[in-house]
Amino acid sequence: MTDVDRSSAQEYSLDRDCTTLSRHVLQELQSFSAEAQDLSAVMNRIALAAKLISRRLSRAGLVEGALGFTGTVNVQGESVKRMDIYANDVFISVFKQSGLVCRLASEEMEKPYYIPENCPIGRYTLLYDPIDGSSNVDINLNVGSIFSIRRQEGDDLDGNARDLLQHGRNQIAAGYILYGPSTMLVYSMGKGVHSFTLDPSLGEFILNNENIRVPDHGPIYSVNEGNFWQWEESIRDYIRYVHRHEGYTARYSGALVGDFHRILMQGGVFLYPGTVKKPEGKLRLLYETAPLAFLMEQAGGRASTGTQDLLDVVPEALHARTPLVIGSKEDVALVESFIQEGARESQETAMTRS
């Protein structure tokens, strides 16, 4: 290797090592304006929350009271894990005394949380799922955090956050943190999807993959088949199709972030359909499905409720749920075609009966 090669390789790895999240955000925004600096600072605080949660998870088995249930039930009617509360409080703490985020809304809080010292100057609202895949926490399997940044509009005096009931295309930025063998942060500001790996020796998230593109088709389908008999016939028909056709393989981790990340990197489709009893499904729009839909569309994939683009859905409430079909555009279209066929058949049956 010539000296020139060696120095350019060193220059490259040094430059790569210096491409931290906050620097990348400013590069993305191609601006050093106050707004750009603020957004970079918001992302930096999210990175700090990720480091604190990653540290807690990595030692949870050794820390008294880090695992298990709190004994309470949250606004979703779910039993709350201690890690859910720890992570929820971490996101609030990192934004105190920041002047950045005036309001935080999360899966664990019925109403948004206001940081008085940040209002009204704080331009942004953070919506987040502090621990996604809670059922995996106590058994040391991968979990995640999901976040969405929206503009703070109006004063929301009654605290019902009605100004947040907007479609997902109004998100300024979105992303997730995957707490796996390494801790990764994946985000988009509407200009492509980029991933960072936490380098514990530096304590920094360093860029490892820029402008991620999802394949148009992939072999993976990811769904909880345990719900098979609760689904509409059309979804059951889609699952029968992938069972009978070569080239499909099932993967389901029980944590949306982990399953989503696999699809983003390898292609395929993740589904959490509605059931006959709960047609709206389980996953929450504003801080679970809309942020991931924003990323998937940025990566060249698609996100659907089965009948419409998920980013066009306007929620009726802060904790509204939606069915989710997300991933490679050909695979999402295939699922939608089964749903359309099912709708056409039930319409035909209804007409013959009438």
Q: What are the residues binding ligand FBP (CB under 6 A)?
A: 78, 107, 129, 132-135, 224, 254-256, 282
CA distance 248 to 221: 7
Closest to ligand FBP by CB, 192 vs 254, is 254
CB of 327 to ligand FBP, least distance (A): 13
Closest to ligand FBP by CB, 100 vs 221, is 221
CA distance 258 to 263: 9
CB of 306 to ligand FBP, least distance (A): 16
Closest to ligand FBP by CB, 206 vs 320, is 320
CB of 348 to ligand FBP, least distance (A): 32
Nearest of 75, 63, 108, 113 to residue 92 by alpha carbon? 113
Closest to ligand FBP by CB, 129 vs 331, is 129
CB of 70 to ligand FBP, least distance (A): 14
CB of 38 to ligand FBP, least distance (A): 28
Closest to ligand FBP by CB, 79 vs 182, is 79
CA 197 to mean position of chain CA atoms: 17
| Chain length of the chain | 354
Nearest of 302, 123, 322 to residue 214 by alpha carbon? 302
CA 11 to mean position of chain CA atoms: 34
Closest to ligand FBP by CB, 137 vs 198, is 137
CB of 257 to ligand FBP, least distance (A): 7
